[in-house]
């Protein structure tokens, strides 16, 4: 919605970001800036099953296309040889579908969001680091894309965790052409092996070593490329980073139907024991991704509002939330008048209230903005809206 924002708790304190959170934000800004620049210049990027192509290739034109990338495929312009192995035949959970038939959004810390095989790593960190350390040009482009210093590649990779995607997942994928990283909006098939970082976001596609960053969300996307059997846009997943660093991942093994734990940054050698799932699971058992909105809430009485409730471009707007569990980290999903969805967070104070302030709004889209504030740990929600009129209006 609005250019700069500040999250505060009820005592008026801003939550500390920390150096790792700051680095992540820089990565987001680098990716977003590159995509915005490409769109502004009218560039058309060629697409490949595992990596973007050059603008000179006969690619798919337009800026709303999303390339479907099946498991175990690597076409033109990969960053590295395969440093991992995808798993074929992974069926997305039936409950992994968003409200209204659109993409479903999940926090990366959700137990069972990712899959794997106990005591087995689908990605090889050593091979990835070794290849990059022997290919300086690719290492530079790879590290720059992820906001990592070249000298820190080995340390960065050592903290990554190998998993497989349980759902068809939207990402921004980056191939390598002529010394630079290319950009392509992609949907990776369930079963794709990826490395995730300590906030749970996919950062490497292991079949080709490509760096991954958060997706650009389109209002009317068009899915192209080799669509797999059973593909449907209603079962695509958007993964949001965890609010806090994840120390232990709970992974679902599609071969056994059971879950196990994997400490972050390990390769499977420290996996926990299998945990049996219910004998008569419902269509969306607890170990399968389920939208937080379906979790009943009986302990909170949340509400949300904008102040002012209407205004003009250039005004400062404050979103207030109250009635939530004290100390909760709240998710804010903001839908703009043009259909673009943005995400923010609010830290609730000791009385369960908090605010998020939007400023620098001189050039924002005009119309009605709708916000949903959610406590992801309980599913409690509150809704609010605000009307923004043109600055030149009456």
So what's the pLDDT on residue 54? Answer: 33
Q: Per mean pLDDT, which range of 20-29, 106-115, 241-250, 314-323 is the poorest? A: 20-29
Intra-chain end-to-end CA distance of the chain, in Å:
22
- With cut-offs at 50, 70 and 90, classify the pLDDT of residue 46: very low
- Each residue's pLDDT tens digit, 293-307: 333 344 788 889 999
**pLDDT value at 140 more than 90:** yes
Q: CATH 2.60.40.10: which residues of the chain?
A: 4-13+295-389
So what's the pLDDT on residue 116? Answer: 95
State how far the Cα of 26 lies from the Cα of 19, in Å rounded to an integer. Answer: 10
Q: What is the DSSP letter of 280?
A: S
pLDDT > 90: what percent of the chain? 47
Bridge partner list, 194: 163, 205
**pLDDT value at 314 more than 70:** yes
CB 363, CB 339: distance < 8 Å: no
State how far the Cα of 329 lies from the Cα of 347, in Å rounded to an integer. Answer: 5
Q: For tokens 């076409």, name the residue.
A: 75
- Each residue's pLDDT tens digit, 56-110: 333 333 457 899 999 998 766 999 999 999 999 998 887 777 666 668 889 999 9
CATH of domain 4-13+295-389: 2.60.40.10
Residue 300 token pair: 């909170």
Residue 60 token pair: 């798919």
**pLDDT value at 313 more than 60:** yes
- Each residue's pLDDT tens digit, 144-154: 999 999 999 99
The pairing of beta strand 168-173 with beta strand 236-240 = parallel
Residue 84 token pair: 């991992």
- Each residue's pLDDT tens digit, 173-217: 999 999 999 998 999 999 999 999 999 999 999 999 999 999 998
**pLDDT value at 289 more than 90:** no
- Each residue's pLDDT tens digit, 230-277: 888 878 999 999 989 999 999 999 989 999 999 999 999 999 999 865
């Amino acid at each position: 919605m609005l250019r700069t924002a500040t999250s505060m708790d009820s005592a008026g304190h801003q939550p500390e970001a920390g150096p790792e959170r700051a680095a992540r934000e820089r990565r987001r800004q680098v990716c977003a800036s590159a995509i915005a620049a490409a769109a502004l210049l009218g560039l058309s990027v060629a697409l490949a099953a595992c990596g973007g192509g050059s603008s000179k290739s006969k690619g798919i034109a337009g800026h709303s296309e999303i390339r479907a990338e099946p498991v175990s495929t690597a076409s033109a312009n990969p960053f590295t040889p395969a440093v991992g192995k995808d798993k074929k035949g992974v069926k997305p959970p039936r409950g992994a579908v968003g409200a209204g038939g659109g993409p479903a959004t999940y926090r990366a810390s959700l137990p069972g969001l990712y899959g794997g095989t106990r005591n087995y790593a689908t990605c090889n960190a050593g091979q990835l680091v070794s290849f990059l350390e022997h290919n300086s040009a690719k290492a530079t482009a790879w590290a720059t894309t992820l906001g990592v210093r070249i000298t820190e590649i080995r340390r960065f990779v050592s903290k990554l965790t190998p998993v497989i995607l349980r759902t068809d997942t939207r990402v921004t994928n980056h191939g390598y052409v002529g010394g630079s990283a290319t950009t392509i909006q992609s949907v990776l098939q369930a079963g794709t092996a990826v490395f995730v970082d300590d906030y749970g976001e996919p950062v490497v596609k292991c079949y080709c070593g490509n760096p991954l960053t958060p997706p650009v969300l389109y209002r009317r996307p068009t899915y192209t490329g080799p669509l797999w059997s059973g593909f449907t846009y209603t079962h695509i997943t958007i993964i949001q980073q965890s609010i806090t660093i994840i120390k232990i991942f709970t992974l679902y093994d599609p071969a056994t139907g059971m879950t196990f734990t994997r400490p972050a940054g390990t390769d499977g050698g420290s996996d926990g024991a299998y945990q049996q799932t219910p004998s008569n699971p419902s269509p969306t058992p607890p170990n399968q991704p389920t939208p937080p909105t379906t979790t009943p809430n009986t302990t909170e009485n949340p509400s949300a509002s904008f102040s002012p409730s209407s205004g003009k471009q250039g005004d400062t707007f404050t979103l207030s939330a109250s009635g939530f569990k004290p100390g909760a980290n709240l998710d804010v999903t903001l839908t703009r008048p043009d259909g673009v969805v943005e995400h923010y967070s609010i830290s609730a104070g000791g009385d369960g209230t908090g605010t998020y302030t939007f400023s620098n709004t001189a050039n924002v889209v005009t119309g009605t903005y709708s916000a949903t504030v959610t406590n992801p740990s309980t599913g409690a929600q509150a809704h609010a809206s605000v009307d923004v009129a043109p600055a030149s209006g009456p």
